[in-house]
Amino acid sequence: MAIEKILKDDASEEKGERARMASFVGAIAITDLVKTTLGPKGMDKILQSTGRGHEVTVTNDGATILKSLHIDNPAAKVLIDISKVQDDEVGDGTTSVVVLAGELLREAEKLVAAKIHPMTIISGYRMAAECARNALLQRVVDNKENAEKFKSDLMKIAMTTLSSKILSQDKEHFAQLAVDAVMRLKGSTNLEAIQIIKKPGGSLKDSFLDEGFILDKKIGLGQPKRIENAKILVANTAMDTDKVKIYGARVRVDSMSKVAEIEGAEKEKMREKVKKILGHGINCFVNRQLIYNFPEELFADAGILAIEHADFDGIERLALVTGGEIASTFDNPESVKLGHCKLIEEIMIGEDKLIHFSGVEMGQACTIVLRGASHHVLDEAERSLHDALCVLSQTVNDTRVLLGGGWPEMVMAKEVDELARKTPGKKSHAIEAFSRALVAIPTIIADNAGLDSADLVAKLRAEHHKEGCNAGIDVISGSVGDMAELGISEAFKVKQAVLLSATEAAEMILRVDEIITCAPRKREDRM
């Protein structure tokens, strides 16, 4: 008798070997896709969206590439998810994490073919990951005490991160920008305080960090274009017609004259409100909501700069930099904290007028103005800078630093290899495989740079056999070089996250022996 069908019509089920094969194939395909973007000589990808306008993105950022892919393979989805998490958590290493997980699975595939049970592989991988982490921990450098050195560490990390991106030409310039911006945050990881404004035109080199704050808004007509020693009131209040908020209220009148009266009262109310605001003794007023013509005129009359419709983030940031509070009621002028800044002026960047607040009290926030030839360049520059900023802000909290250029992978691989030799049983194969997967990363970096990877990695391995070696791949000169001298560094936190989440993901995919796909939900295409 035929086996009863227990699943729904379109649902499918893959079992045992086939399931494992499906997930390996999916995961490895994803890895191969992003692998070419790894390293300083990695290539970019063009992504075309299926949405309206078929927008084009050119990027080198693993997370961005993977996020825009439409994937049907469940195992591939796991990899995309870890890449996303890596992006949210540390901001960089989004490609590395996928590549490492893919390589781990590629090695696992061979082991499974050699009849080693997935559970044995997993336990081997776990031991290896733990050992690799300890190896890294032993070699970290922590320059927390020495501010000068720490700053140079940050600089190096920023340059290493940026070197694989479009900004690599001006990496020093941008690294400086990023480090300066992050140092201003004073240990907070809230990157919201760093505003990035993109203005097409000029070249990437023209990008600059502004100590003050730039608001992408215009100054109202007939109002002063320049204010010195500004006292700023940051507000979130309705400056159109102030509605009566009591529910169910409405105006019902029986004659035209009444309408006029009420309109007058409304105007009076607004005038009063403006008067109250003026009572704070300010000369600049920034509101989150619209300012109608009437109050704007009143402000202009009083010689006050009024800026309307700043977005919410802008308001928060402005409050943060100027040290004021966001006000919504204006009855107690004496207790409202006003923001201060030395100078407000309208500046031009490219063709646009922007409002520039300089000499602000609290230096926590700052603005980076990016210039570049096209929107694509600017978008990619923003993403790269974002990566650098994320890594730096995380490094400020966890100051441990490692060398880069494939150095950490080689250090880990060496330790893991040693562990493999010591471990009895089938697990040692898995541990060995783990070290091979680690070595794959410098190999890919070298391959992407068009170098002879086999030769280089072998040299590197030999170098690492010596104690306390700092050798890594110097992609620029195409040889093995001293990473400490070349100033290539990476944050420990990023490497650790790459290692742990890649292992976790590989483990998860390895444990699967059955894939059940439900019938896709039918989209109703009715008119």
Partner 1 sequence: MALAFDEYGRPFIILKEQEQKTRLSGLEAQKANISAGRAVSRILRTSLGPKGMDKMLQSPDGDVTITNDGATILEQMDVDNQIAKLMVELSRSQDYEIGDGTTGVVVMAGALLEQAERLLERGIHPIRIAEGYEMASRIAVEHLERIAQKFDFGPTNIEPLVQTCMTTLSSKIVNRCKRALAEISVKAVLSVADLERKDVNLDLIKVEGKVGGKLEDTELIYGITVDKDMSHPQMPKQIEDAKIAILTCPFEPPKPKTKHKVDIDTVEKFQTLRQQEQKYFDDMVQKCKDVGATLVICQWGFDDEANHLLMHQNLPAVRWVGGVELELIAIATGGRIVPRFQELTPEKLGRAGLVREKSFGTTKDKMLYIEHCANSRAVTIFIRGGNKMMIEETKRSIHDALCVARNLIRNNFIVYGGGAAEISCSIAVEAAADKYPGVEQYAIRAFADALDAVPVALAENSGLQPIETLSAVKSQQIKENNPHFGIDCNDVGTNDMCEQNVFETLIGKQQQILLATQVVKMILKIDDVISPSDY
Q: Would you name the residues annotated as active-site residues? A: 61, 94-95, 387
Does residue 335 bind partner 1 (CB under 8 A)? yes
Q: How far is the C-alpha of 76 from the C-alpha of 85, rounded, in Å? A: 14
Does residue 334 bind partner 1 (CB under 8 A)? no
Does residue 279 bind partner 1 (CB under 8 A)? no
Q: Give 149 or 258: the residue with its C-beta nearer to partner 1.
A: 258
* Least spacing, CB of residue 70 vs partner 1, in Å: 9
Report the alpha-carbon angle 79-80-83, nearest 5.
Answer: 90
Does residue 338 bind partner 1 (CB under 8 A)? no
Task: Using the CB atoms, write b or e for 215-234: b if 16+ within 10 Å.
Answer: bbbebbeebbeebeebbbbb
Task: List the one residue from 52, 245, 421, 526 that touches partner 1 (CB under 8 A).
Answer: 245
* Least spacing, CB of residue 205 vs partner 1, in Å: 27
* Least spacing, CB of residue 425 vs partner 1, in Å: 9
* Least spacing, CB of residue 250 vs partner 1, in Å: 6
Q: How far is the C-alpha of 420 from the C-alpha of 428, rounded, in Å? A: 5
Task: List the one residue from 74, 212, 406, 442 that touches partner 1 (CB under 8 A).
Answer: 74
In the chain, what's the furthest Cα-to-Cα distance? 98
Task: List the one residue from 55, 88, 172, 455 that touches partner 1 (CB under 8 A).
Answer: 88
By C-alpha distance, which of 196, 209, 194 is closest to 365? 194
* Least spacing, CB of residue 210 vs partner 1, in Å: 22
Does residue 519 bind partner 1 (CB under 8 A)? yes
Q: Give 249 or 527: the residue with its C-beta nearer to partner 1.
A: 249
Task: List the one residue from 34, 63, 78, 182 that touches partner 1 (CB under 8 A).
Answer: 78
Q: How far is the C-alpha of 238 from the C-alpha of 483, rounded, in Å? A: 58
Per-residue CA distances from 143 to 137, 154, 248, 396, 486 (Å): 14, 10, 64, 11, 18
Contacts with partner 1 by CB under 8 A: the residue count is: 86
**Three-class secondary structure of residue 419 per DSSP:** helix
Binding mask 464-493 for partner 1 (x = CB under 8 A): ------------------------------
Both tokens assigned to 200: 């097409």
CB neighbourhood size of 309 (10 A) = 13
By C-alpha distance, which of 390, 381, 380, 400 is closest to 490? 400
**Three-class secondary structure of residue 70 per DSSP:** coil
Q: Which residues within the stretch 406-465 sit at the binding site for partner 1 (CB under 8 A)?
A: none
Task: List the one residue from 381, 390, 410, 494 that touches partner 1 (CB under 8 A).
Answer: 390
Does residue 258 bind partner 1 (CB under 8 A)? yes
Does residue 11 bind partner 1 (CB under 8 A)? yes
For tokens 């003050």, name the residue: 212
Does residue 362 bind partner 1 (CB under 8 A)? no
By C-alpha distance, which of 456, 468, 410 is closest to 436? 410
Residue 512 main-chain phi, psi, to 5 deg:
-80, 135
Q: Which residues within the stretch 165-194 sit at the binding site for partner 1 (CB under 8 A)?
A: 189-192
Q: Which residues within the stretch 118-147 sit at the binding site for partner 1 (CB under 8 A)?
A: 118-119, 126
Which amino acid would we find at residue 115? K
Q: Give 347 or 518: the residue with its C-beta nearer to partner 1.
A: 518
